[in-house]
């Protein structure tokens, strides 16, 4: 028996670009084949349990606005109702994946033993629902930032008891992710950072975080979890400074602690913007290091300057993100998670479904534009041409020579470089032909 929450909303279908039905896909046809692969298999969309079902509509100035039948989530009955509603929405949208934090799916009990018990109970319940559903788990994660116990960090907390609580919590979430067949496990350290350097021992905190992550990887192998461990960069918010600042910082951290072949990155559009980067920059940096794992596809408001977690709606931005993802070979275990929430005034079930329709449509449109650019090859040709000087043997051999040898050659051949155009506007115009 459906709950009635989505009453009046039919299964969302692909109707094509000429459709004016706001509750239909215009670009996302899961079965459309692009570069030899179905769109659904390229994009691997996931619904975020926290924003879509747990979040109650509060902001820093006001309380809940949504008043869903399963809010507030303080008992297991409502946790189960929330799961029922979630799976109803997955079905309506044909969602291939979902993601959760422990705190989104079970009520907070205030102590570890009871948190563990309710997590096991609710993940058994979700597991039963998955038996008759085609929606799978993209990733699970532990919320180690909301409860007051985490206020000074989780693995970086000066109090060893909090480190212990964090280790036990991640173990329980990794177990639950494994039980549900999750394809990845994410760690985002919202409180792994500091409010002030004055009370912070940076070296100790980073060493603890590095050891903690190594223990996560050791445990993953012990239980035979085949998914990917992902860390999610974000420069700040809620902490003033977060150690996983951006992709480049995470790459350095993973190398320092010997994790470069074990851990990849979950990159979020809004976090890239907060770090002062474009999303495609973060993706390209991770891809260059072989550490591109998964993405959280949500934008920020460009004026308000904080993490507003809105659904994507900008085709050119999304297209460039997928261009660098496709160029890196596409997702393996990763996917496109909508770490996005409807606005506080968007009260209706219809708003929640329409937000996902729009996000999926924009991503499909962006991916198709990206694939067209790859197939056309214009950007790749321009790159090859720009670096073609390095194909000459005397150029390539320079990298294995020395400053003295190169200096001698500059004198002997009278090398005097002629500046050449970077062709930025021409390339930007090229991209605009596709988006
Ligand atoms: C916070 C954020 C998180 C992570 C998972 O900004 O993005 O939701 O994705 O903890
Ligand atoms: Co995120």
pLDDT tens-digit readout, 243-279 = 999 999 999 999 999 999 999 999 999 999 999 999 9
CA distances from 124 to 74, 176, 363 (A): 18, 9, 32
Whether 235 contacts 269, CB under 8 Å: no
Upper half-sphere CA count for residue 322 (Cβ side, 13 Å):
32
Dihedral sign for Cα atoms in the order 211, 214, 215, 216? positive
Ligand nearest to the CA of 187: 1
Q: Domain coordinates of the chain in residue numbers?
A: 33-376, 388-434
Closest alpha carbon to 138 in 293, 333, 286, 291? 333
* Cβ(268) – ligand 1 distance below 6 Å: yes
Upper half-sphere CA count for residue 392 (Cβ side, 13 Å):
7
pLDDT for residue 219 is more than 90: yes
Is-catalytic flag, 104? yes
310 alpha carbon – ligand 2 mean position (Å)? 12
Nearest CA to ligand 1 atom 8: 339
CATH topology of domain 33-376: TIM Barrel (3.20.20)
Beta bridge partners of 140: 100, 185
CA–CA dist 433, 435 (Å, integer): 6
Beta bridge partners of 268: 296
User: Mean pLDDT across the chain, nearest whole number?
Assistant: 98
pLDDT of the residue at 73: 87
Tokens of 318: 């999304």
220 sits in which H/E element: helix 202-223
Whether 42 contacts 34, CB under 8 Å: yes
Is-catalytic flag, 27? no
pLDDT of the residue at 71: 96
pLDDT of the residue at 42: 98
pLDDT of the residue at 346: 98
Closest alpha carbon to 295 in 138, 190, 91, 178? 138
In three-state secondary structure terms, 292 is: strand
188 alpha carbon – ligand 1 mean position (Å)? 6
* Cβ(307) – ligand 1 distance below 6 Å: yes
187 alpha carbon – ligand 2 mean position (Å)? 10
Tell me the best of 101, 170, 190 to mutate to test the pocket of ligand 1, counting ligand atoms within 8 Å of each CB and taking the most: 190
Instruction: Quote the pTM value.
Output: 0.97
User: What pairing do the DSSP bridges indicate for beta strands 336-338 and 292-296?
Assistant: parallel
pLDDT digits over 83-137, tens only? Answer: 999 999 999 999 999 999 999 999 999 999 999 999 999 999 999 999 999 999 9
Distance of CA 131 to the CA centre of its chain: 26
CA–CA dist 244, 236 (Å, integer): 9
What are the residues whose beta carbons fall under 8 Å from the beta carbon of 67, sequence distance 6 or more? 56
* Cβ(300) – ligand 1 distance below 6 Å: no
pLDDT of the residue at 302: 86
416 alpha carbon – ligand 2 mean position (Å)? 49
Per annotation, catalytic residue among 42, 102, 104, 175: 104
Q: Which ranges constitute the DSSP H helices of 263-344?
A: 269-274, 279-288, 315-327
* Cβ(40) – ligand 1 distance below 6 Å: no
Q: What percent of the chain lies above the pLDDT cut of 70? A: 100
Instruction: Report residue 325's pLDDT band, with 50, 70 and 90 as the boundaries.
Output: very high
pLDDT of the residue at 151: 98
339 alpha carbon – ligand 1 mean position (Å)? 7
Ligand nearest to the CA of 186: 1
pLDDT digits over 9-32, tens only? Answer: 999 999 999 999 999 999 999 999
CA–CA dist 91, 421 (Å, integer): 52
pLDDT digits over 378-425, tens only? Answer: 999 999 999 999 999 999 999 999 999 999 999 999 999 999 999 999
Instruction: Report residue 306's pLDDT band, with 50, 70 and 90 as the boundaries.
Output: confident
408 sits in which H/E element: helix 403-413
Nearest CA to ligand 1 atom 7: 339
Ligand nearest to the CA of 295: 2
pLDDT for residue 305 is more than 90: no
* Cβ(296) – ligand 1 distance below 6 Å: yes
* Cβ(205) – ligand 1 distance below 6 Å: no
pLDDT digits over 333-382, tens only? Answer: 999 999 999 999 999 999 999 999 999 999 999 999 999 999 999 999 99
Whether 129 contacts 83, CB under 8 Å: yes
pLDDT for residue 81 is more than 90: yes
CA–CA dist 184, 420 (Å, integer): 45
* Cβ(244) – ligand 1 distance below 6 Å: no
CA–CA dist 90, 80 (Å, integer): 15
CA–CA dist 80, 78 (Å, integer): 5
């Amino acid at each position: 028996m459906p709950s009635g929450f989505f009453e009046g909303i039919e299964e969302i279908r692909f109707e094509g670009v000429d459709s004016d039905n706001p509750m239909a896909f215009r670009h996302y046809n899961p079965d459309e084949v692009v570069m030899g692969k179905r769109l659904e298999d390229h994009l691997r969309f996931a619904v975020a349990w926290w924003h879509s079902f747990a979040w109650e509509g509060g902001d820093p100035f006001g309380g809940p606005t949504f008043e869903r039948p399963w809010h507030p989530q303080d008992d297991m009955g409502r946790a189960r109702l929330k799961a029922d509603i979630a799976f109803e929405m997955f079905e309506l949208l044909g969602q291939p994946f979902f993601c959760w934090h422990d705190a989104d799916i079970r009520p907070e009990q205030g102590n570890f033993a009871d948190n563990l018990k309710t997590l096991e109970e609710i993940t058994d319940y979700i597991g039963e629902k998955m038996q008759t559903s085609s929606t799978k788990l993209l990733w699970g994660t532990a919320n180690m930032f909301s409860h007051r116990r985490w206020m000074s960090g989780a693995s970086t907390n000066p109090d060893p008891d909090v480190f212990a609580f964090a280790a036990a919590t991640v173990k329980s979430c990794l177990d639950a992710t494994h039980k549900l067949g999750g394809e990845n496990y994410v760690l985002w350290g919202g409180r792994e950072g500091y409010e002030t350097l004055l009370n912070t021992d940076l070296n100790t905190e980073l060493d603890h975080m590095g050891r903690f992550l190594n223990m996560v990887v050791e445990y993953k192998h012990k239980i035979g979890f085949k998914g990917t461990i992902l860390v999610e960069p974000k420069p700040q918010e809620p902490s003033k400074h977060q150690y996983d600042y951006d992709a480049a910082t995470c790459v350095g951290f993973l190398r320092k602690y010997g994790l470069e072949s074990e851990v990849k990155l979950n990159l979020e559009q809004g976090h890239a913007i907060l770090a002062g980067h474009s999303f495609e920059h973060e993706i390209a940096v991770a891809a260059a290091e072989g550490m591109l794992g998964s993405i959280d596809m949500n934008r920020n408001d460009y004026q308000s300057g904080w993490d507003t977690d809105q659904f994507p709606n900008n085709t050119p931005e999304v297209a460039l993100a997928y261009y660098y993802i496709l160029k890196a070979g596409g997702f393996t275990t990763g996917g496109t998670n909508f770490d996005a929430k409807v606005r506080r005034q968007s009260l209706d079930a219809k708003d929640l479904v329409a937000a996902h329709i729009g996000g999926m449509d924009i991503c499909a449109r962006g991916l198709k534009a990206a694939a067209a650019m790859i197939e056309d090859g214009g950007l790749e040709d321009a790159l090859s041409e720009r670096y073609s000087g390095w194909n000459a043997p005397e150029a390539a051999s320079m990298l294995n020579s020395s400053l003295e040898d190169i200096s001698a050659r500059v004198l002997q051949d009278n090398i005097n470089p002629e500046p050449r155009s970077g062709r930025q506007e021409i390339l930007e115009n090229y991209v605009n032909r596709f988006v």
